[in-house]
Chain A
């Protein structure tokens, strides 16, 4: 499908760098795809008759007389129902040994949705994980990353979120996945019997890093197909966006661009926003929800990648190991879902917002008490009670192995309030206290 007979073949490269080649050519469009020495490339600069191409797989071994053909089109993906259950590489070619997908050809990196045509996200996504549902409720059409250290079980949590979320389609965009993680996802999806509603675009650590740049666009083109053409609710999983950003910095560095903070390109914000903003609730009923992973180095969220991500996404989820209970929990302080206000107390029980805030505040008091304890001060009776509360709250609600419905989460929270505190200490609106405060 790639080279056609009437196409002109160029064989004289004038410049070769680690990632790019330059040659004289005419009638080339910006962003157009090309084949250089059998490797896929894209036009990144046109200057007079000089065309600069970025070679995704790197330029190792490319000679100055390499064959170059232009494909006359931007990156594309063939879309149809056949995508379901299939695994592809970053170029959209099958890697599961199956046949080519037949379908309509779509350009990737499509235009933005007109903001006035967007609907306000309003559908609560239940995951059963109380650290998410109770404190950081997800909404369809939302975009939210896990900020996680590399040793945390983020891919596992993401897989359980995906499978419990009742999405019509799940699209996995894997960037720099280790082969083990790739197989993990494949297994989990297969075992859940959900494979036919999952489409995967995977760039593993075996593949050249720059190829990763194509993965989100591929995944989101497929997502838009299902959400727009079939009005489906699509959940897109992107892991790991930090490796995507690293690839951006490699390219910008090789293009001699002036780096801004943390050696990242000055356009990092726009580059990430272009991807995350594909999350949308369409007026026709379809939606795209993005759950991503951004790994942190040493937990530093001021680094340019998590920092820019945080400004774009609608909240973030932090995982943390709670040594008191020996489990990984969803950190209630640093995690945030910005869209939760649209559903909590509306699609969930009316007491949800106040219960959530009260519990987190009491948990914060427990953290202060712990600091006091560590500094060798005596604890008051209230301090002792907050510490006991915190342990049970963590065990019964924050731990990631919890799988219960939202009403149960709220009931557990009320039980804990009654067990450890007075009404004045909990400080919740009287109408709810009257209803749910049961001795």
Chain B
């Protein structure tokens, strides 16, 4: 895409945010251009070219644009700016810093710098003069909110280079020269802390990408215990509205064991983003004790912001994630919701008058989604012994709650963990409403994950997890029998079986995201609780009639709930536990 002069053009047609531009020179697919109004410049992306006509999707409202208005092409695709100072920022889908914008309302054509150019960072060199480096090699580091931010050889640089000079430890702005590298022919390139990268191209500055194998602790019991996700793993949460997708995603992003969290609010409610803006500066990271906002970047493209930028927002988020992964960090990427992104694709495909696929989505929807999910993963970097990961969890908002619709189906093929939210569970306020029977984690089948689990949670762990799942399944079957035959039409053992599954449901699966203590459960505590509950389900109890079963188990559940609400191993916790033991003895065979 190297061109000497900028191609220009004139507006020749407008339908909503699709604009047709007659151009006077070469243009590239996905090239960025600007519509030059009198006082505003509207950013747009080329999405189709027919002869001299470039079809561009405008990232802003096209109100008042006229035929003949000049357009200028930029010679590059949609890019993000990478450098220290991205964490704790709130960006829109095009990486404009929202806090730098003036006024309460967004102004059309206002684009702001994602980085702070004045602030000085304490740069520490990591490489040495004379070292051979390639794209992604660590030259030095600065501390960004206590996270070591590596300054790397730009990803765009191809081949091998030699470090000619490197700045000494000291204070530099992002635009100060920190190194000079030379290629084999001696051509020198000065480097700063800033680089740019096109969002739709994956950053591949790593050695290799093995299958993920390490458990990622999220603090959510029905994920960690039953269907764990891994560092570098992918998962998705489909659920009809009101089933708690966003609450669950927020819970994960607050508690998960990650160095960097990137939240892409893609076409969802603005008030939900405001919740993050309001809470994250207050809440502490349970592991480091620092504020959550320090490790978080938010990409906010809410549902009322321009549709085309919505599509860009998920790519922007992924690219930022890849940048931090290349520094050897554990990145957690959350996108809410990928359905809105798919809808943005549909709106544009419709305006382009393309032949539609199922439900009017574009035919290549499935390919686009798998391509995106494949950018997550665990990688070994070229730096010695360093590794990094992007774990990605997306939500899907299936139309009408129907999981057979194209976006859910396509995502199912791409993601390895499925956390299906059930309407029935949400209706009976059993939150998080993750269906314990339909949901799965493919990672449990990976031998390397099984090995990792055995090392960290004990040899018995996997067996216990599978046992808990069996109990849940058998409880459901017992419930169905009871419903068909009536309470007294089945043996008491059925009631016992059903209530044992309810016990797991209430104590392990259900979790109060709004309670300070219950909201997050450490793996250690999860292990303790699962073993404790399985002890009860393994026990045999003496019941004279079926009514006794529910009364007895409700009391047990009540005591366990009180334990869940108490600090782990506190006096209160132990008191409830000893009450529980006494109660259990009364019915034990």
Give the distance in Å from the alpha carbon of A357 to the alpha carbon of B430 in the complex: 10
Question: Which of A112, A277, A310 meets B242, CB within 8 Å?
Answer: A310
A415-439 residues at the B interface, CB under 8 angstroms: 424-425, 427, 429-430
Binds A, one of B142-150, B178-186, B414-422, B550-558: B550-558
With A270-B343, A336-B242 in contact, is A48–B304 under 8 Å at CB? no
Q: Once the chains bind, are A260 and B429 in contact (CB under 8 Å)?
A: no
Binds B, one of A95-103, A117-125, A202-210, A239-247: A117-125
Q: Once the chains bind, are B346 and A364 in contact (CB under 8 Å)?
A: no
Of A141, A261, A267, A279, which is in contact with the most chain B CB atoms at under 10 Å from its CB?
A: A267
| Residues of the A chain whose Cβ atoms lie less than 8 Å from the Cβ of B267 | 269-270, 273
Does B397 sit within 8 A of A, measured CB to CB? yes
Contact with B along A27-56 (1 / 0, CB 8 A): 111111000000000001111110000000
| Residues of the B chain whose Cβ atoms lie less than 8 Å from the Cβ of A4 | none
B541-582 residues at the A interface, CB under 8 angstroms: 547, 550-551, 554-555, 557-558, 561-562, 565
Give the distance in Å from the alpha carbon of A98 to the alpha carbon of B241 in the complex: 44
Give the distance in Å from the alpha carbon of A284 to the alpha carbon of B343 in the complex: 34
Q: Once the chains bind, are B487 and A378 in contact (CB under 8 Å)?
A: yes
Question: Which of A258, A261, A377 meets B399, CB within 8 Å?
Answer: A261
Question: Which of B14, B514, B562 meets A341, CB within 8 Å?
Answer: B514
| Residues of the A chain whose Cβ atoms lie less than 8 Å from the Cβ of B305 | 112
| Residues of the B chain whose Cβ atoms lie less than 8 Å from the Cβ of A259 | 360
Does A230 sit within 8 A of B, measured CB to CB? no
| Residues of the B chain whose Cβ atoms lie less than 8 Å from the Cβ of A339 | 271
Of all chain A residues, the one with the shortest Cβ separation from B401 is A302
B85-121 residues at the A interface, CB under 8 angstroms: 90, 98-99, 101, 103-108
B464-520 residues at the A interface, CB under 8 angstroms: 483, 486-489, 514
Question: Which of A46, A111, A357 meets B106, CB within 8 Å?
Answer: A111
Q: Once the chains bind, are A266 and B347 in contact (CB under 8 Å)?
A: yes
| Residues of the B chain whose Cβ atoms lie less than 8 Å from the Cβ of A427 | 554, 557-558, 561
Question: Which of B99, B303, B429 meets A273, CB within 8 Å?
Answer: B303
Q: Once the chains bind, are A29 and B399 in contact (CB under 8 Å)?
A: no
Contact with A along B239-273 (1 / 0, CB 8 A): 01110000000000000000000000001011101
Min CB gap B397→A, angstroms: 5
Give the distance in Å from the alpha carbon of A40 to the alpha carbon of B278 in the complex: 44
Give the distance in Å from the alpha carbon of A425 to the alpha carbon of B552 in the complex: 11
Q: Once the chains bind, are A30 and B269 in contact (CB under 8 Å)?
A: no
Does B445 sit within 8 A of A, measured CB to CB? no
Chain A residues touching B, range = 35 or more
Q: Once the chains bind, are A29 and B65 in contact (CB under 8 Å)?
A: yes
Does A249 sit within 8 A of B, measured CB to CB? no
Q: Once the chains bind, are B104 and A113 in contact (CB under 8 Å)?
A: yes
Does B350 sit within 8 A of A, measured CB to CB? yes
Give the distance in Å from the alpha carbon of A378 to the alpha carbon of B428 in the complex: 23
Question: Which of B63, B350, B402 meets A258, CB within 8 Å?
Answer: B350
Give the distance in Å from the alpha carbon of A120 to the alpha carbon of B353 in the complex: 40
Question: Which of B13, B99, B402 meets A302, CB within 8 Å?
Answer: B402
Does B356 sit within 8 A of A, measured CB to CB? yes
Q: Once the chains bind, are A47 and B13 in contact (CB under 8 Å)?
A: yes
Of all chain B residues, the one with the shortest Cβ separation from A307 is B400
B419-467 residues at the A interface, CB under 8 angstroms: 427-429
| Residues of the B chain whose Cβ atoms lie less than 8 Å from the Cβ of A128 | none
Question: Which of A114, A121, A316 meets B101, CB within 8 Å?
Answer: A114
Question: Which of A118, A279, A380 meets B487, CB within 8 Å?
Answer: A380
Q: Once the chains bind, are A113 and B105 in contact (CB under 8 Å)?
A: yes
Give the distance in Å from the alpha carbon of A274 to the alpha carbon of B401 in the complex: 22
Give the distance in Å from the alpha carbon of A67 to the alpha carbon of B356 in the complex: 38
Min CB gap A52→B, angstroms: 9
Q: Once the chains bind, are B98 and A114 in contact (CB under 8 Å)?
A: yes
Of B63, B278, B356, which is in contact with the most chain A CB atoms at under 10 Å from its CB?
A: B63
Of all chain B residues, the one with the shortest Cβ separation from A303 is B400
Q: Once the chains bind, are A74 and B99 in contact (CB under 8 Å)?
A: no
Does A1 sit within 8 A of B, measured CB to CB? no
| Residues of the A chain whose Cβ atoms lie less than 8 Å from the Cβ of B64 | 29-32, 74
Does A115 sit within 8 A of B, measured CB to CB? yes
Q: Once the chains bind, are B105 and A30 in contact (CB under 8 Å)?
A: no
Q: Once the chains bind, are B63 and A119 in contact (CB under 8 Å)?
A: no
Give the distance in Å from the alpha carbon of A257 to the alpha carbon of B429 in the complex: 41
Of all chain B residues, the one with the shortest Cβ separation from A283 is B104
Q: Once the chains bind, are A377 and B487 in contact (CB under 8 Å)?
A: yes
With A49-B67, A111-B107 in contact, is A364–B360 under 8 Å at CB? no
Chain B contacts to A: CB under 8 angstroms: 12-15, 20, 61-67, 90, 98-99, 101, 103-108, 240-242, 267, 269-271, 273-275, 277-278, 300, 302-305, 307, 340, 343, 346-347, 350, 353, 356, 359-360, 397, 399-402, 427-429, 483, 486-489, 514, 547, 550-551, 554-555, 557-558, 561-562, 565
20 new A-B pairs (CB below 8 Å) besides A228-B104, A427-B557?
Answer: A27-B67, A30-B62, A44-B15, A46-B67, A47-B15, A115-B273, A115-B302, A261-B399, A266-B360, A269-B303, A273-B267, A302-B400, A302-B401, A307-B241, A310-B241, A311-B241, A364-B428, A381-B547, A382-B547, A424-B554
Q: Could you list some 29 contacts between A and B, CB below 8 A?
A: A28-B66, A28-B67, A29-B63, A47-B20, A49-B67, A112-B270, A113-B106, A115-B270, A115-B273, A118-B274, A120-B277, A142-B271, A258-B360, A266-B350, A267-B347, A269-B303, A270-B267, A277-B269, A284-B104, A301-B400, A302-B402, A307-B400, A311-B241, A312-B303, A314-B271, A353-B514, A375-B486, A377-B489, A427-B557
The 9 closest A-B pairs by CB, nearest first: A302-B400, A273-B303, A277-B304, A310-B241, A260-B360, A377-B486, A31-B63, A29-B64, A47-B13
